[in-house]
């Protein structure tokens, strides 16, 4: 007399179900990463603020959301904040660390855990055609002969301690940090190729929100002065 058992068949079925379950989870995770990657590549990206050059508006350790489409429907204007690729101007064109170093660093940058060493955020002070000068008798910058009111400048800082006289050509921007005494910006590159003027096609987007830390969560108000 032969006795048939489904024990082995049940074990195989359970194992197959488990494998299919894990495969479904993996595919879902991969799909989510692809969607997130596309969103960050074309709509909203995330960057880490490593320095105090844009204080008090943006502070070291902030993670910010950056709209990649902010300037799609309008030109960049004076007073805007721009996040831009500084390679060839603020950073060397070859900023590599080798394949493994780039991969590890790139993962941390993508997750917003470490700063991107070639991406910067500054304020637009001059656009194409502007004549930007420092400074008036009372220490203010002028654009096309008109003194600027800059309530966003870090408390106690002068608008600039470095004199300059620049006419911004087509396709370029003159950029300064809000924390003028702690900012590497267009003034720092006056003697370099390009004269501190950043190409508009290097602009990635506009900061729209602080994501972290949670006590600073909220939209970025580019007009906000010091408290």
User: Per-residue pLDDT for 217 more than 60?
Assistant: yes
User: Per-residue pLDDT for 207 more than 60?
Assistant: yes
The residue among 23 and 156 whose pLDDT is bigger is 156
Q: How many domains does the chain have?
A: 2
**Structural domain span for residue 196:** 45-219
Examine residue 226 and state whether it is found in any structural domain, yes or no: no
Task: Tell me the pLDDT tens digit for each residue of 96-115.
Answer: 444 444 554 455 555 555 55
pTM: 0.78
User: Per-residue pLDDT for 214 more than 80?
Assistant: yes
Are 99 and 7 found together in one domain? no
Q: What is the mean pLDDT of residues 48-75?
A: 95
Are 18 and 56 found together in one domain? no
Q: What's residue 133's pLDDT?
A: 97
Kind and range of the H or E element at 174? strand 172-176
Task: Tell me the pLDDT tens digit for each residue of 124-181.
Answer: 999 999 999 999 999 999 999 999 999 999 999 999 999 999 999 999 999 999 999 9
CATH code of residue 136 = 2.10.109.10
Are 17 and 52 found together in one domain? no
Q: In what order do the strands lie in the sheet with 131-134?
A: 146-147, 141-143, 131-134, 164-167
Tokens encoding 147: 């003194």
d(CA 23, CA 32): 14
Examine residue 61 and state whether it is found in any structural domain, yes or no: yes
Are 70 and 177 found together in one domain? yes
Q: What's residue 109's pLDDT?
A: 52
Examine residue 92 and state whether it is found in any structural domain, yes or no: yes
Examine residue 224 and state whether it is found in any structural domain, yes or no: no
What b/e string do you get for 24-60 counting C-beta neighbours within 10 Å, with b at 16 or more? eeeeeeeeeeeeeeeebeeebbbbbbebbbbbbbbee
Are 36 and 84 found together in one domain? no
Examine residue 38 and state whether it is found in any structural domain, yes or no: yes
Task: Tell me the pLDDT tens digit for each residue of 171-204.
Answer: 999 999 999 999 999 998 888 877 889 999 999 9
């Amino acid at each position: 007399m032969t006795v048939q058992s489904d024990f082995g068949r049940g074990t195989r079925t359970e194992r197959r179900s488990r494998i299919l379950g894990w495969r479904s989870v993996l595919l879902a995770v991969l799909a989510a990463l692809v969607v997130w990657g596309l969103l960050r590549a074309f709509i909203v990206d995330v960057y880490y603020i490593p320095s105090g050059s844009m204080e008090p508006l943006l502070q070291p350790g902030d993670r910010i959301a950056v709209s990649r489409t902010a300037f799609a429907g309008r030109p960049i204007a004076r007073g805007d904040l721009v996040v831009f690729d500084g390679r060839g101007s603020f950073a060397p064109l070859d900023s590599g660390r080798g394949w493994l170093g780039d991969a590890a660093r790139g993962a941390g940058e993508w997750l917003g855990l470490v700063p991107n060493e070639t991406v910067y955020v500054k304020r637009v002070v001059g656009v194409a055609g502007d004549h930007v000068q420092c400074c008036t008798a009372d220490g203010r910058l002028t654009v096309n002969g008109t003194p600027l009111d800059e309530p966003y400048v870090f408390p106690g800082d002068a608008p600039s301690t470095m004199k300059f006289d620049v006419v911004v050509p087509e396709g370029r921007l003159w950029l300064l940090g809000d924390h003028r005494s702690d900012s590497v910006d267009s003034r720092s590159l006056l003697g370099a190729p390009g004269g501190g003027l950043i190409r508009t096609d290097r602009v990635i987007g506009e900061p729209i929100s602080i994501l972290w830390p949670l006590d600073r969560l909220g939209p970025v108000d580019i007009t906000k002065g010091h408290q």
